[in-house]
Amino acid sequence: MTIDMNSIGRSLGPVRQDYTWKDTALYALSLSAGRDDLAWLLDPTPKVLPTYGVIPTFAPVFELLKTTGGDLVTLLHSSQRTEVLVPFPSGGSMETTATIRGVYDMKIGASIIIDTVTLVDGVKTAVTEWNLLLRGEGGFGGEKPPARLKLRVPSDRPADFQVEVPTQDNQALLYRLNGDINPIHSHPEVAAAAGFDRPILHGLCTYGIAGRVALKALAGDDPARFRALECLFAKPVMPGDTLLVEGWVLDEPGKAALTVTIKETGVKAISTCLFEYQP
């Protein structure tokens, strides 16, 4: 397929999505929250995990992707950044606008960066940056992509925290109920066409788990202390894998480096990740 360079700068929205505490509790459950995490789960006004900021972006982001001319079956998530300006209330009306910032030419495919802004009840609440790769769509003569996040994980000392998070065989089927219904995470035939033995876990599920663990370890489970989370995805996770989330507090106050390793294989699922918070 041919990449449409005229899609650069194209916007979609605002797309409205109403939500209640049941939606935010479902999100927490889909990130393996359990009996020790009731503050995110119980009505009538549970706290909302900050990475919920990705949820209202699904619809406008994927509608925009359809206009780029690429084959979405080849889609991989390269990196994600979420910045939360004020905590999400436990319910409200979200309005999200998405814009294609750039379409870049890589040898292995087309790199597409999409920015979103979400308002909740009229208040600017979250901004995200999606970096997506359409494999096999490179060579169209576009610019090279901008530099990605570079972060040195301290190798001279152990992690400040290590937390194992088991995922379940049905983890992707649960996470997709948040609205991310890309069939590569649910339909075996689509996963096979993309080169996988079976449906893979959403990268944003792994991302959300990393954010949830870091918030508890470093910011007292307080969503008001969350600033941003930016992660580079390295390898896919399979539902049922156990995730080892490790974090190192950096010299600059309010910043920590994270990694996520698949315990069964030792492979990094998230190789580079910056968690920003109020110390």
For the chain, give the secondary structure using H, E and C.
CCCCHHHCCCEEEEEEEEECHHHHHHHHHHCCCCHHHHHHCCCCCCCCCHHHHHHHHHHHHHHHHHHHCCCHHHEEEEEEEEEECCCCCCCEEEEEEEEEEEEEEECCEEEEEEEEEEEECCEEEEEEEEEEEEECCCCCCCCCCCCCCCCCCCCCCCCCEEEEEECCCCHHHHHHHHCCCCHHHCCHHHHHHCCCCCCCCCHHHHHHHHHHHHHHHHHCCCHHHEEEEEEEECCCCCCCCEEEEEEEECCCCCEEEEEEEECCCCEEEEEEEEEEECC
Q: In this structure, what CATH number is given to the domain that contains residue 152?
A: 3.10.129.10
Domain that holds residue 182: 5-277
Residue bearing the bigger pLDDT, 7 or 1 = 7
* Banded model confidence at residue 139, pLDDT cuts 50, 70, 90: low
Q: What is the pLDDT of residues 74-89, one digit of tens each?
A: 788 999 999 999 999 9
Total domain count, the chain = 1
Tell me the pLDDT of the chain averaged across its residues.
Answer: 94
Average pLDDT over residues 159-178: 98
Average pLDDT over residues 211-220: 98
Q: What is the pLDDT of residues 252-274, one digit of tens each?
A: 999 999 999 999 999 999 999 99
Active-site annotation holds for 180: yes
Quick one: pLDDT at residue 202? Answer: 97
**What pTM was estimated for this model as a whole?**
0.94
Weakest-pLDDT range from 1-5, 10-14, 220-224, 257-261: 1-5
Percent of the chain with pLDDT over 90: 79
Quick one: pLDDT at residue 141? Answer: 65
* Banded model confidence at residue 35, pLDDT cuts 50, 70, 90: very high
Exactly one of 185, 197, 241, 251 is catalytic; name it: 185
pLDDT higher than threshold 70 for residue 140: no
Quick one: pLDDT at residue 7? Answer: 86
Q: For residues 180 and 164, give the distance between their C-alpha atoms in angstroms, rounded to a whole number.
A: 25
pLDDT higher than threshold 60 for residue 1: no
pLDDT higher than threshold 80 for residue 2: no
* Banded model confidence at residue 180, pLDDT cuts 50, 70, 90: very high
Active-site annotation holds for 185: yes
Average pLDDT over residues 139-155: 79
Exactly one of 23, 37, 180, 241 is catalytic; name it: 180
Diameter over CA atoms, the chain? 53
* Banded model confidence at residue 246, pLDDT cuts 50, 70, 90: very high
Weakest-pLDDT range from 46-50, 131-135, 185-189, 229-233: 131-135
